[in-house]
Amino acid sequence: MNFINDKQILAPFFVVDHDGGSASLCLDVGEYKQEVFDTRADEGFEGGGYDWESLAIVFLEEKMPELKGIVNFDSEASMFCAYSSDKKALEQFAISFKNTCEDESTITDLFSRAELD
């Protein structure tokens, strides 16, 4: 994605461009914000890709509902992945989601409504 030249803005998330003009926002899970997921470990949350996806769905529904159906998810156990053919929408989601992750109280509040996949 050429619109995010400073990779530090999104780190540890990273962007992958795909043929055909779509792009993905990815995260290798297991370290970043693990303490948030640990708060609900007794319910089965481990902080894997599917848990991140559950968190991102709550974020999208509550903070950026205008992007529902534009930003989609295709996570795996070891990787969170959001994707879109609308790179501008993915950029808006990526920056806002990363900023929210950095706000401990907001991310913990959103995670309290995440559902185990």
- Does residue 20 carry a pLDDT above 80? yes
pLDDT tens-digit series, residues 32-53: 999 999 999 999 999 999 999 9
Check pLDDT > 80 for residue 3.
Answer: no
* d(C-alpha 6, C-alpha 114), whole Å: 30
Alpha carbon distance 46, 110 (integer Å): 16
- Render pLDDT for 65-114 as a digit per residue (tens, 0 to 9): 999 999 999 999 999 999 999 999 999 999 999 999 999 999 999 999 99
Any idea where the domains of the chain sit in the sequence? 29-111
pLDDT value for 1: 45
DSSP SS3 for 50:
helix
Q: Report the alpha-carbon distance of residue 117 to residue 82 in Å, rounded.
A: 16
